[in-house]
Structures are given as C-alpha cells and as structure tokens.
C-alpha cells in the first residue's frame, strides 16, 4: 500500500481542516497556504494519488460537487475569475499524493500564475494522437 498522505490524516480525523463540504465520497476544505483568499481543495475519499486511477463513482462525485463548490467560493470571495487546478505527479508540481482539485479565485494580483508555452500541432501528428487516444478510451 502507498504511503499515507497528509490528506489521509485529515480524512481519518487525525489532524484538523477548515472543512467547507463533505458527503459520502468527497471532502472540501480551505488550503492551508492559499494562493488567494478562498483557495479551496476538493478531494475524493477514495485514496488514490492520481486522477486517472480514480473509480467512476469517485469521478462522478467530484464532477457533481466541483461546479457547486466553485459557485460558493466565488460568492464568498467576490471573485469573478478563478482557476481549477489538478496536478498529477511530482514533475507536474503535485506535492500531496492524494487526488485533489484546487479552486483558486483570482483577486487582483493574487491567484494562480501560469507559464504557458504553446507549440504547434501538425496535422499528421494530430491524426496519430487522435487514433492513439481513441484506442485508449475504447478500453
């Protein structure tokens, strides 16, 4: 079994969190080191490190709650712009190896900073990629 994370300890009630929502499948709480006021995390109770490892049930539960949570965070903070961020793997800046979605309001210069370096999608490459990804989705 993989190592227990800080979020396992929150789920098990060993350490406190600033909880904003909970149901049978998910928990949402304030991020302890917020990028902006209202920065909130949504996690599944299923203990998986990465998004692609989640069951359909957990995925559905997260999808059901996420837009509602975003609306509530916007209302509470007065923000009208926000980012939803979900990191997978240390190379992609994941520090806690339990699936989590960040809801990060954009408030003035506070919020998520993004380095975005667009490339170019060649038609042959696109065709190859579409075939490969479709094959993966068929499974």
Q: Is residue 91 near ligand AMP by the rule CB under 6 A?
A: no
* Token representation of residue 42: 């949504």
Catalytic, 100? Answer yes
What's the rounded Cα separation, in Å, for the pair 33 and 38?
11
Residue 40: which H helix or E strand, with range?
A: strand 40-44
Name the CA radius of gyration of the chain, rounded: 17
Q: Judged by CB under 6 A, which stretch of 58-66, 89-97, 109-117, 118-126 contacts ligand AMP?
A: 89-97
Please report how close the Cβ of residue 82 comes to ligand AMP at its closest, in angstroms.
15
Q: Is residue 19 near ligand AMP by the rule CB under 6 A?
A: no
- Strand 101-106 relative to strand 26-30, pairing: unpaired
Residues in the chain: 139
In the shown chain, the binding pattern of residues 39 to 58 toward ligand AMP, with x for contact by CB under 6 A and - for none, equals --x-----------------
Q: Is residue 90 near ligand AMP by the rule CB under 6 A?
A: no
Active site members: 100
């Amino acid at each position: 079994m993989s190592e227990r994370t800080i979020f396992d300890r929150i789920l098990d009630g060993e350490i406190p969190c600033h909880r904003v929502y909970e149901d049978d499948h998910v928990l949402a709480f304030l991020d302890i080191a917020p990028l902006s006021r209202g920065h909130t995390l949504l996690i599944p109770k299923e203990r998986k490190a990465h998004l692609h490892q989640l069951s359909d049930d957990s995925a559905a539960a997260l999808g059901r709650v996420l837009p509602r949570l975003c609306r509530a965070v916007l209302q509470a903070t007065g923000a009208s712009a926000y980012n939803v961020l979900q990191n997978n793997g240390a190379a992609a800046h994941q520090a806690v190896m339990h699936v989590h979605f960040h809801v990060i309001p954009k408030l003035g210069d506070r919020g998520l900073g993004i380095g975005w370096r667009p490339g170019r999608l060649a038609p042959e490459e696109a065709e190859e990629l579409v075939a490969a990804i479709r094959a993966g989705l068929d499974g």
